[in-house]
Amino acid sequence: MSAFAPAPLKILLLEDSKFDAEFVGEFVRANYPLARLDVVDDEAGFRDALAQAAAGQPYDAILSDHEVPGYGGPQALDHALGVVPRTPFIFVSGLIGEENAVDLLKRGATDYVSKNRLSRLPVVLDRALREVAEREARERAERRARKADEIYGRVVDALNDYAVILLDRDGVIRDWNRGAIAIFGLAREQALGSHFGRLFTDEDRAAGVVERELDAARRNGSSSGDRWLRRADGTPMRADGVLTALRDGDDEAGEINGFCKILRDGTDAYENAAALREAKDEAERANRTKDRFLAVLSHELRTPLAPIATAAEVLEREAGVPPQYAALLPMIRRNVALEARLIDDLLDLTAIAAGKVTLKLDRVDMRQVVDAVLDMVKEASLEKRISLTSRWDAARATVRGDAARLQQVLWNIVHNAIKFTPEGGRIDLRADDDGPRLRLRCIDDGIGIDRASRDRIFSAFEQADGAVARRFGGLGLGLAIAHGLVTEHGGRLEADSPGPGQGATFTLTLDTLD
Instruction: Give me the pLDDT at residue 154, please.
Output: 62
Report how far Cα 222 is from the mean position of its chain's Cα atoms. 21
Task: For residue 37, count other CB atoms closer than 10 A to its CB.
Answer: 18
Contact 33, 3 (CB under 8 A): no
Residue spans of the chain under pLDDT 50: 464, 469-470, 472-474
Q: State the Cα–Cα distance between residues 476 and 453, nearest whole angstrom.
A: 13
Listed in sequence order, the DSSP H helices in 260-393 are 267-318, 328-353, 366-383
Contact 506, 458 (CB under 8 A): no
Contact 110, 90 (CB under 8 A): yes
Contact 237, 183 (CB under 8 A): yes
pLDDT in tens, 192-234: 999 999 999 999 999 999 999 999 999 998 888 889 999 999 9
Q: State the Cα–Cα distance between residues 138 and 150, nearest whole angstrom.
A: 18
Query: 39-73: b or e for each residue (b if 16 or more CB lie within 10 Å)?
Result: bbbebebbeebbeebeeeeebbbbbbbbbbeebeb
Instruction: Give me the pLDDT at residue 426, please.
Output: 94
Instruction: Give me the pLDDT at residue 159, please.
Output: 66
Task: For residue 314, count other CB atoms closer than 10 A to its CB.
Answer: 11
Question: Nearest to residue 345, comparing CAs of 218, 433, 474?
Answer: 474
Residues 6 or more apart in contact with residue 71 via CB below 8 angstroms: 42, 43, 46
Residues 6 or more apart in contact with residue 500 via CB below 8 angstroms: 447, 448, 449, 450
Contact 49, 22 (CB under 8 A): no
Instruction: Give me the pLDDT at residue 473, please.
Output: 46
* This prediction's pTM: 0.42
Q: Is 278 exposed, middle or buried (0-12, 13-18, 19+ CB in 10 A)?
A: exposed
Q: Whole-angstrom distance between the N-terminal and C-terminal Cα of the chain? A: 93
Instruction: Give me the pLDDT at residue 191, please.
Output: 92
Q: State the Cα–Cα distance between residues 464 and 454, nearest whole angstrom.
A: 8
Q: State the Cα–Cα distance between residues 227 and 218, nearest whole angstrom.
A: 19
Q: State the Cα–Cα distance between residues 370 and 453, nearest whole angstrom.
A: 28
Considering only the C-alpha atoms of the chain, give the largest distance between any 2 of them, rounded to a whole number of Å.
Answer: 154
DSSP state of 319: S
